[in-house]
């Protein structure tokens, strides 16, 4: 019993320490707006989406996502993806990964992205497949 209590305490302290370290730099927060260019599935279980739009300092950005629901939780799922942009001669890419939650006709995305310029971005966004829009609030993690 003492071991279980000690383990619980260690986990709680570890989670608190990690949460305290997650800081968005206020000067690096920006909005990103995309148009959904296409969505398709081959089996009704895995969906692929591509989009393009403007993302603050990254200029014109092209996105591709693969959405799954490996846990079979209704209304939820996960995704991976890639982003590509070019501003002048600078090409920047990113890997995208996160979770999604259906909220009525919208899908909420929570994404943690590793960018080729060495930055780590966190974003929360809303996807409206009827209107073909994706809108995110993005912040660099310190």
Per-domain residue ranges for the chain? 24-140
SS3 43: coil
Residue range 107-136, pLDDT digits in tens = 999 999 999 999 999 999 999 999 999 999
Third-level CATH fold of 24-140: Lipocalin (2.40.128)
Across 86-112, average pLDDT = 96
CB atoms within 10 A of CB 128: 13
DSSP, collapsed to helix, strand or coil, labels residue 132 as coil
For the question of whether the overall pTM of this predicted structure is more than 0.85, the answer is no
Quick check: 16 pLDDT over 80?
no
pLDDT 10s digits, 37-59: 999 999 999 999 999 999 999 99
């Amino acid at each position: 019993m003492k071991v279980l209590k000690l383990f619980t305490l260690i986990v709680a302290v570890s989670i608190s320490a990690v949460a305290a370290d997650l800081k968005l730099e206020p000067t690096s927060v920006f909005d990103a707006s995309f148009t959904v260019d296409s969505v398709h599935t081959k089996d009704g279980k895995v969906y692929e989406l591509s989009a393009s739009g403007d993302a603050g300092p990254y200029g014109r950005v092209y996105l591709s996502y693969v959405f799954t629901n490996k846990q079979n939780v209704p209304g939820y799922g996960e995704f991976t993806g890639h982003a590509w942009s070019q501003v002048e001669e600078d090409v920047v890419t990113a890997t995208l990964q996160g979770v999604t939650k259906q909220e009525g006709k919208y899908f909420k995305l929570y994404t943690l992205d590793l960018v080729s310029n060495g930055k780590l971005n966190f974003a929360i966004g809303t996807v409206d497949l009827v209107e073909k829009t994706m809108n995110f609030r993005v912040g660099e993690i310190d």
